[in-house]
């Protein structure tokens, strides 16, 4: 990077380039590339620049992350231009560089994104289309978005993504969904492949591909709701499960918000942490569970229900809580009588954070009553009864009442 008159480094310029290559670049982007001392990018991207552009061409190494972190010091006194696919700020290198070095160190010249081009070809409104990236991430992140009538675009790492998305939709009971693979968008080799999720006829396709899904539920499929209170049957469990009605009330009290972190202490089947993360893609949760078999079950439930990023910590609280990032909310579904547990959770909470604790025994109820007297909040008793057969008639069978303490720090 070339130093300016004050001796500070000029920002790295990131230029988005599409499958149409040099011909698709506007004049300002061409001038920036022609004036560069160093071009950084993949071998494919560097090959899109005409040979008479004099800049030194340096392809990214693998892994790429260390080179991104070292970029400001890698080419002292030289003008550096980074080439990126499409819009550099859509799951691209521009986003990574801004996160590493700050917005003042990066200047971005975007190209139309693959998502925008895909919506243009399909006739879909961009603002009404969900976008999911599985580049370097688990495919199961697609799961929460597959609901009846939903349109979504999936950005993947390679040409196997359309077939993988089709298989996932079929497993979820959405085999009738229409899958469209849009490859080499905007370039001379642009082409489109279509099929249903259940009978996707194509194997590995061009790696520069966007997968579009028009979700259609199969006849016997019961869609899962996006609000708290999934059916109990959605979780594998050994009986240690916060039941549906109590779970819905608990999550309402925990009040998940985008970007917030939850500790689910004594997680059992992981239902609270899983539903917290399903509330918004940026919600995060840590499930703390002492039994290895239950911890494994939590991981399976999280992946199947579309939140594979749920962090599972095996260990007994409060010792297992040491070193975890400070939470915005804590749920303790059992173990309120464990010495120092609630005090540890309360001390760890960020200001304005929420602590929600449930109890079913007299001993744990007494602990909650003591906390209520000390810190206030809401103390609620929940009684749920289910209609069930009584001979040839129907009667109410009550579940154990649950006492719930909810308090804001």
What digits encode the pLDDT tens for the residues 93-106? 999 999 999 999 99
Structural tokens at position 26: 């506007």
pLDDT per position as a tens digit, 218-277: 999 999 998 999 999 999 999 999 999 999 999 999 999 999 999 999 999 999 999 999
The domain 115-214: what is its CATH number? 3.30.950.10
DSSP state of 227: S
Q: For residue 1, what pLDDT is reported?
A: 38
Fold type of domain 12-112: Cobalt-precorrin-4 Transmethylase; domain 1 (3.40.1010)
The CATH class, in words, for 232-408 is alpha beta
pLDDT at 202: 95
The DSSP 8-state label assigned to residue 218 in this structure reads: -
Nearest-5° Cα angle at 66, 63 to 70: 145
Distance CA 101, CA 164 (A): 35
* pTM listed for this prediction: 0.90
**Secondary structure (3-state) at 162:** helix
pLDDT at 226: 85
Kindly report, residue by residue over 253-266, the tens digit of the pLDDT: 999 999 999 999 99
- pLDDT of 2 strictly over 80: no
Q: In what order do the strands lie in the sheet containing 106-109? A: 56-59, 38-41, 80-85, 12-17, 106-109
Q: How far is CA 364 from CA 264, 327, 341, 373, in A?
A: 18, 23, 12, 14
CA terminus-to-terminus distance, the chain: 48
Whether 22 and 53 have beta carbons less than 8 Å apart is answered as no
CA distance 280 to 298: 19
**Every domain of the chain and the residues it spans:** 12-112, 115-214, 232-408
Q: What is the DSSP letter of 291?
A: -
Whether cis (ω within 30° of 0) applies to the bond prior to 63 is: yes
Q: How confident is the model at residue 300 (pLDDT cuts 50, 70, 90)?
A: very high
Please work out, in degrees rounded to the nearest 5, the angle formed at the alpha carbon of residue 386 by the alpha carbons of 385 and 392.
Answer: 125
The Cα 90–Cα 103 span in angstroms is 15
Beta strand 354-359 with 329-332: parallel, antiparallel or unpaired? parallel
């Amino acid at each position: 990077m070339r130093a300016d008159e004050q001796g500070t480094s000029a920002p790295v310029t990131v230029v988005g380039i599409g499958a149409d290559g040099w011909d698709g670049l506007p004049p300002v982007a061409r001038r920036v590339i022609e004036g560069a001392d160093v071009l950084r990018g993949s071998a494919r991207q560097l090959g899109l620049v005409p040979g008479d552009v004099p800049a030194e061409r340096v392809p990214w190494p693998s892994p790429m992350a260390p080179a991104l972190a070292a970029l400001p010091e890698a080419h002292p006194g030289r003008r550096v231009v980074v080439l990126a696919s499409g819009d550099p700020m859509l799951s691209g290198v521009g986003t990574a560089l801004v996160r590493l070095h700050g917005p003042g160190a990066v200047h971005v010249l975007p190209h139309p994104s693959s998502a925008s081009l895909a919506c243009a070809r399909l006739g879909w409104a961009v603002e009404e289309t969900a976008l999911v990236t599985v580049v370097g991430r688990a495919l199961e992140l697609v799961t929460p978005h597959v609901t009846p009538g939903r349109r979504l675009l999936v950005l993947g790492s390679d040409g196997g993504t359309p077939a993988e998305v089709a298989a996932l939709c079929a497993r979820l009971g959405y085999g009738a969904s229409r899958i469209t693979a849009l490859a080499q968008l905007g370039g001379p080799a642009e082409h489109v492949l279509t099929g249903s999720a259940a009978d996707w006829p194509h194997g590995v396709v061009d790696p520069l591909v966007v997968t579009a899904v028009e979700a259609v539920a199969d006849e016997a499929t019961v869609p899962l709701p996006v609000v708290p209170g999934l059916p109990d049957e959605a979780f594998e469990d050994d009986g240690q499960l916060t039941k549906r009605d109590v779970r819905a009330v608990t999550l309402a009290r925990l009040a998940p918000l985008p970007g917030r972190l939850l500790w689910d202490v004594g997680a059992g089947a992981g239902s609270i942490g899983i539903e917290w993360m399903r509330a918004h893609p940026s919600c995060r949760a840590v499930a703390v569970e002492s039994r290895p078999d239950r911890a494994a079950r939590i991981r399976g439930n999280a992946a199947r229900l579309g939140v594979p990023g749920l962090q599972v910590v095996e260990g007994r609280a409060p010792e297992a809580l040491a070193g975890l990032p400070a939470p915005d909310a804590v749920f303790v579904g059992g173990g309120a009588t464990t010495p120092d547990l609630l005090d540890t959770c309360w001390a760890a909470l960020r200001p304005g954070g929420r602590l929600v604790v449930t109890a079913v025994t007299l001993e744990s109820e007494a602990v909650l009553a003591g906390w209520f007297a000390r810190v206030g909040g809401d103390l609620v008793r929940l009684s749920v009864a289910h209609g069930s057969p009584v001979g040839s008639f129907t009667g109410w069978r009550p579940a154990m009442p649950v006492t719930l303490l909810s308090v804001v720090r």
